[in-house]
Structure 1
Amino acid sequence: MNVLFSVVLPIFALVAAGWAARRYGYLGPEGARELNQFVVYLGMPALLFQIMANASWHDLNQPGFAMAFGLGCAVTYGVTVYVRLRQGAPLADASLDGLNGGYANVGFIGFPLCLAAFGPQSLPLVTITAILTVSVLFGIAVLLVEIGIQPKGNMKAIMGKVAISLAKNPMLLAPVLGVLYAAFAPALPAGPNRFLGLLASAASPCALVSLGAFIGDCHGSFNWPRVSALVAFKLVFQPLVTWIIAAFVFGLPHELTAIAVVVSALPTGTGPYMLANLYKRDAGTTAGSILTSTLLSVATIAILISLFK
Structure 2
Amino acid sequence: MNVFFNALVPVVLLITLGHLFRRWNFPGPEFWPQAERFTYYVLFPAMLVYKLGQAHMAPSVYADVAVLVGATLASMTLILAIIQRFWRWSGSVFSSVFQGATRFNSYVALAAGGMLLGDEGLALTAIVVAIMVPMLNLLCIVMFSLTTAGQRIQFLPVLRMIITNPLIVGSLLGITWSYFELGFHPLLAGTLGPLSSLALPMGLMTVGAGLQLNVLRGASMLFVTSSILKLLVMPVIAAGIGYVLGFELLLVQVMILLAALPTATSAYILARQLGGDAPLMAGIISGQTLLAVVTIPLMLSLLW
Matched ranges for 1:168-207 at <5 A:
168-184=164-180, 186-207=182-203
Which whole-Å deviations, capped at 9, do the CAs of 1:113-169 have from their partners, x for residues lacking one?
A: 245xxxxxxx6466334311x2111123344567869x966x9xx555444444433
Q: Which residue of 1 aligns with 2:265?
A: 273
Q: Which residue of 2 aligns with 1:39?
A: 39
Q: Which residue of 2 aligns with 1:137?
A: 132
Residue 225, structure 1, aligned to residue 225, structure 2 = no
Residue 113, structure 1, aligned to residue 105, structure 2 = no
Q: Within 2, Cα distance between the matches of 1:43 and 1:302?
A: 31
Q: Within 1, Cα distance between the matches of 2:52 and 2:34?
A: 26
- Report the CA distance between 1:9 and its aligned residue: 1.5
Structure 2 letter corresponding to 1:267: L
Q: Which residue of 1 aligns with 2:210?
A: 214
- Give structure 2 stretches of 5+ with no counterpart: 273-277
Q: Within 2, Cα distance between the matches of 1:72 and 1:125?
A: 21
- Give structure 1 stretches of 5+ with no counterpart: 116-122
Which whole-Å deviations, capped at 9, do the CAs of 1:197-224 have from their partners, x for residues lacking one?
A: 3333333322322232233x54342535
Q: Which residue of 2 aligns with 1:292?
A: 291
SS of residue in 2 equivalent to 1:87: coil
Q: 1:47 to 1:218 in 2, by over 3 A?
A: same
Structure 1 letter corresponding to 2:303: L
Q: 1:69 to 1:196 in 2, by over 3 A?
A: farther
Matched ranges for 1:1-309 at <5 A:
1-58=1-58, 61-62=60-61, 66=65, 69-71=68-70, 73-75=72-74, 78-79=77-78, 82=81, 87-90=89-92, 93=96, 96-100=99-103, 105-114=108-117, 124=120, 127-132=123-128, 134-143=129-138, 158-184=154-180, 186-215=182-211, 218-221=213-216, 223=219, 225-248=221-244, 250-252=245-247, 255=249, 259=253, 262-263=256-257, 266-268=260-262, 272-274=264-266, 276=268, 282-305=281-304
Check the 8 A contact 1:33/1:277 in 2, yes or no.
Answer: no
Check the 8 A contact 2:15/2:205 in 1, yes or no.
Answer: yes
Check the 8 A contact 2:124/2:254 in 1, yes or no.
Answer: no
Q: 1:38 to 1:80 in 2, by over 3 A?
A: farther
Check the 8 A contact 1:73/1:103 in 2, yes or no.
Answer: no
Structure 1 vs Structure 2 CA RMSD: 3.9
- Report the CA distance between 1:41 and its aligned residue: 1.2
Count the aligned residue pairs: 287
SS of residue in 1 equivalent to 2:192: helix
Q: 1:224 to 1:196 in 2, by over 3 A?
A: farther
Check the 8 A contact 1:49/1:178 in 2, yes or no.
Answer: yes
Q: 1:49 to 1:114 in 2, by over 3 A?
A: closer
SS of residue in 2 equivalent to 1:25: coil
Q: Within 2, Cα distance between the matches of 1:76 and 1:39?
A: 33
SS of residue in 2 equivalent to 1:187: coil
Q: 1:89 to 1:251 in 2, by over 3 A?
A: same
Q: Within 2, Cα distance between the matches of 1:204 and 1:268?
A: 17
Check the 8 A contact 2:227/2:288 in 1, yes or no.
Answer: yes
- Report the CA distance between 1:97 and its aligned residue: 2.1
Q: Within 2, Cα distance between the matches of 1:166 and 1:205?
A: 24
